[in-house]
Amino acid sequence: MTPLRFAAGVGIAGLIITPTFLYRAERHRHLSTERAYRELSIQSTTENRYLETTVRELLDEQTRLANLVLETGNMLYSSNRVYIKVLASGYSSSIAETDSTPFVTAANTASRRGVLAVSQDLLREYTPGAPFSFGDRVKIYGVGDFIVEDSMNSRWTNRIDIWFPSRDEAIRFGLREVVISGTLDDGIGIRETILSGNYTGESFGGGL
């Protein structure tokens, strides 16, 4: 084969081989991208499962601690949360059950579902070093999540009152012992007050 014909053969071969090579390169890139997305998806799924497991374990632990407090009647502090056994009842927006402004809470917000009234011995607005304050989001185990926005009459201690739209619903809720839990704000020294035993509220009478 002459040099000219050899060169022409290479050129023709190049025309045939090059598209195949490009296809393979593109296919490899596509597969690599798919593999990367698949690995990322697997990693994300694994992380989500781990997160779900961690949250579930945390909730299980919180429930266990709440049950312990309910059984022993003591206050318990764990992982920056306080668990307190209290007596819970229900109330509605009537003057007989509240005051002259039955639809306005002590925190100056509107009465509505999810609002919780707390006895004054458990509120920092009335009792320095108490565990809760207006605006705190708390959990009542076996009932639900609430926000502290109201207070009870000063004659009550170690009590909470759940707002209901009607008196009938409040009555149906009845009177029951529950465990209320909330996050403590170490910035104002509540944790130290509780752990030192200097808190004088009746709610912590059982001690740790």
Residues β-bridged to residue 147: 115, 137
Between 199 and 136, the higher pLDDT residue:
136
pLDDT digits (tens, 9 = 90+) for 24-59: 666 666 666 667 666 666 667 766 666 666 667 667
Residue 178 to residue 164: CA distance in whole angstroms: 17
Residue 113 to residue 149: CA distance in whole angstroms: 11
pLDDT digits (tens, 9 = 90+) for 67-111: 777 777 767 877 788 889 999 999 998 877 777 788 889 999 999
Amino acid present at 74:
N
Residue 7 to residue 63: CA distance in whole angstroms: 82
Q: Tell me how far CA of residue 127 lies from CA of 66, 117, 124, 132, 180, in angstroms.
A: 24, 15, 5, 10, 18
pLDDT at 146: 95
C-beta separation of 80 from 183 below 8 A = yes
Among the listed residues 143, 147, 144, the one whose alpha carbon sits nearest the alpha carbon of residue 183? 147
Between 4 and 81, the higher pLDDT residue:
81
C-beta separation of 64 from 83 below 8 A = no
